[in-house]
Amino acid sequence: MRITGGEPLVRNGIVEFIADVAKIPGLNDLTLTTNGALLTRYAAALKSAGLNRVNVSLDSLNPQVFAEITRVGRLDDVIAGIDAALAAGLKPVKLNTVLIPGTNDGEIMDFIDFAVDRKISVRFIERMPFNAEEAKADQFISEEQVLAVIAQKYQLEKVADESLGPSSDYHVVGSGAGVGFISSRSHPFCQRCTRLRLTSNGYLLPCLDSKVGVKVRGLTPDQVKETIEQLFIEKSSWQKQHACYASTFESSLSKIGG
């Protein structure tokens, strides 16, 4: 299970919430996606509460570009948060990086060097349209473009995909670091996706790019189980080749943790 947002670490009682979620029978892996700014405050407590690992959304290692993208916060706080997560034993730590043409696409090697230095993983995510805007090829950096840059300095070794997740993963040979790609544009993964998403207001969605949302808050466990089964049937029936980004349940991916 993954806790995402918005920014989950600004939620009142986040440590207690994680502790409650960690008690769910059968839950073997609990992770959280954060912007990292508050990890220095919470990392150790989250680990003690039952959090296993953490993903940090970080789109630039350049302080000026970081400020332009985020409009708030300090890069130094995020880097300190990453180090705090490692010190607390929240492993593996993964960076989620969205490459934006003309903004941060010159930092690919910087991110790999950063990952190698700390023996963590960085996942490059192809930029997706928001608010059902048209998807254009020049708005994202493809997996092949990133691989070509990395090959100038590092050798990658493919990791067998056992998670059925959206990421295509590699080891950086000779280091403890990893590189992943979530390539919804150049290598769509809709047909193998097995994930559902629960919104903060209690709606269960088959995917980010879904026209369907079922309110499960207040349902009995048996009713929730039946809803999950039906949503997977619905999801399979679409036979989607790629995301459509139009007429979705929510108009913006940011409202459902995208």
Q: Which are the contacts of 242, defined by CB distance < 8 A and separation ≥ 6?
A: 184, 185, 188, 190
Query: 118: which residues sit within 8 A by CB, 6+ positions away?
Result: 82, 83, 86, 93, 177
Residue in 77, 32, 80, 84 with CA at minimum distance from that of residue 56 = 32
- Locate the domains of the chain by residue range: 2-189, 191-256
Strands (E), the chain: 2-3, 31-34, 53-57, 93-99, 121-126, 156-158, 168-172, 178-182, 197-198, 203-205, 214-215
| Per-residue model confidence as pLDDT tens digits over 62-77 | 999 999 999 988 999 9
Give the model's pLDDT for residue 87: 98
Residues in the chain, total: 258
pLDDT > 80? residue 192: no
Check pLDDT > 50 for residue 182. Answer: yes
Two tokens, residue 5: 């947002």
The answer to whether the CB of 99 falls within 8 A of the CB of 127 is: yes
Residue 66 makes CB contacts below 8 A (sequence gap 6+) with 59, 60, 73, 75, 78
Q: Looking at the predicted structure, is the pLDDT value of residue 198 above 70? A: yes
Q: What is the pLDDT of residue 23?
A: 96
Instruction: Compute the distance between CA of residue 66 and CA of residue 193 in angstroms, rounded to an integer.
Output: 31
The answer as to CATH 3.20.20.70 being correct for domain 2-189 is: yes
The model's pLDDT over 119-174, given as tens digits with 9 standing for 90+, comes to 999 999 987 755 545 555 567 888 999 999 999 999 999 998 756 667 889 999 99
Q: How many CB atoms lie within 10 A of CB 37?
A: 21
pTM over 0.85: yes
pLDDT at residue 34 above 80?
yes
Number of neighbours of residue 241 by Cβ within 10 angstroms: 9
Alpha-carbon span 180 to 228, nearest angstrom: 28
